[in-house]
Amino acid sequence: MKIAVTGKGGAGKSTISGALARHLARMGHDVVAIDADPNPNLGISLGVDRHLVETMRPILNSLLDAGHTHNDPTPPADDLLANYGIDAPGGVRLVATGKIERPSGSCLCCGSHNTTRQFFGDLPAADRVVLADLEAGLGDLVWARPGPQDVVLAVTEGSAKSVEIARRACRLAEEMGVTRIIGVANRAISDADVARISGELGVETLSVPEDPAIEKADQQGVAAFDADPTSPAIVAVGELAHRLMSSSAGST
């Protein structure tokens, strides 16, 4: 199974992705977490040491360090995962696609976006879960190109702007032929809030409640999954994990 997690900046993509990956791993799945943000930070929500997250070398940067050029063939995805991934807690394998380190005159398309597309597309996912935490906004969803067999999670918090981006992500995913599109109403403060968001998104929508434990973990740069595993938001993401896997085994 491949899952692409998308949404506006600050919606909580990384928080949801990190906790979801940990839950899925705990359920016994082999999980690969891809950090597709050119400002990689998914590791924090996975429970990786924050200083390691700040310094880890993504695939693209590592290849460039090694003298790789545009003309060289890209190594197989599983080799990249073995060489440039790191082991996160709970048995999750984390890999980042590319990190922007300095301004340049060139465009990004040839770099981090392409790496995301290739890597998300090529990594075999028959016996494992590949979960990609995408860059804020819709651009990366276009680059990752999830297909009909993949899952798209559109994460939003309550602001009108965030909901609008998630709504667009849902329509874009439909246009791409994705059949399993799930909305995540993150930091939800009321049932009415969730109903409003669900109505706007027009897809099955689960909610993750506003939770001070997440805020506290975020401030410290640690994973709420480790710091406060029974907090309401982490429990809700656990329910999302079960929902994803149970319906994938069924006929939907």
Partner 1 sequence: MTRQASPGEQWLVETLERRQAGLDDLEARAADALGWLAVERQATSLLRHLSTWTASAWYEAVAPELARHQAHLEEKLRRAATELSAFDAVTLASAQRRLGARLALMGKGGAGKTVITSTLARLLGRRGHPVLAVDLDSNPGLAISLGLPPTDAGLPSEAVRQHAGASYGWALAEGLRPADVVDRWATPGPDNVRFLGLGKIGGLDKAHTRRSIGALLYVLLNFDDPGWHVIADMEAGPSTPFERYHAFADDVIVVVGPAWRSAMTARRLLPMVGDGRRTRIVANRCGDEPDHPGLSPAVRIPFDPAVAEAERRGLSPLDACPDSPTIAAIEQLAELFLDQEVPA
* Span near partner 1 by CB under 8 A; candidates 65-73, 76-84, 99-107, 238-246: 99-107
- The reply on whether position 160 binds partner 1 by CB under 8 A is yes
* Span near partner 1 by CB under 8 A; candidates 32-40, 72-80, 118-126, 226-234: 32-40
- Residue from 71, 219, 251, 252 touching partner 1 (CB under 8 A): that is 219
Exposed/middle/buried for 3, CB within 10 Å: 0-12, 13-18, 19+?
buried
**In angstroms, how far is CA 134 from the centroid of its own chain?**
5
Residue placing its CB nearer to partner 1 in the complex, 8 or 22: 8
CB 177 within 8 A of CB 148: yes
- Residue from 19, 165, 234, 237 touching partner 1 (CB under 8 A): that is 165
* Span near partner 1 by CB under 8 A; candidates 81-89, 103-111, 200-208, 225-233: 103-111
- The reply on whether position 37 binds partner 1 by CB under 8 A is yes
Q: In whole angstroms, give the CA distance from residue 142 to residue 169.
A: 10
Q: In whole angstroms, give the CA distance from residue 67 to residue 63.
A: 7
- The reply on whether position 164 binds partner 1 by CB under 8 A is yes
Q: Which of these, 128, 132, 191, 129, lies nearest to 158 by C-alpha position?
A: 191
Q: How far is the CB of 95 from partner 1 (least distance, A)?
A: 18
List Cβ neighbours of 132 (8 Å cut-off, separation of 6 or more): 2, 3, 4, 5, 34, 36, 116, 120, 144
- The reply on whether position 3 binds partner 1 by CB under 8 A is no
Residue placing its CB nearer to partner 1 in the complex, 136 or 235: 136
Q: Under rule CB under 8 A, how many of the chain's residues touch partner 1?
A: 45
End-to-end CA distance of the chain: 14
- The reply on whether position 102 binds partner 1 by CB under 8 A is yes
Q: In whole angstroms, give the CA distance from residue 204 to residue 166.
A: 13
- The reply on whether position 228 binds partner 1 by CB under 8 A is no
Indicate the residue type of 236.
A
- The reply on whether position 53 binds partner 1 by CB under 8 A is yes
By the criterion CB under 8 A, which residues form the site for partner 1?
Answer: 8-11, 14, 37-39, 41, 44, 50, 53-54, 99-105, 107-108, 135-139, 142, 157-161, 164-165, 168, 172, 175-176, 193, 215, 218-221
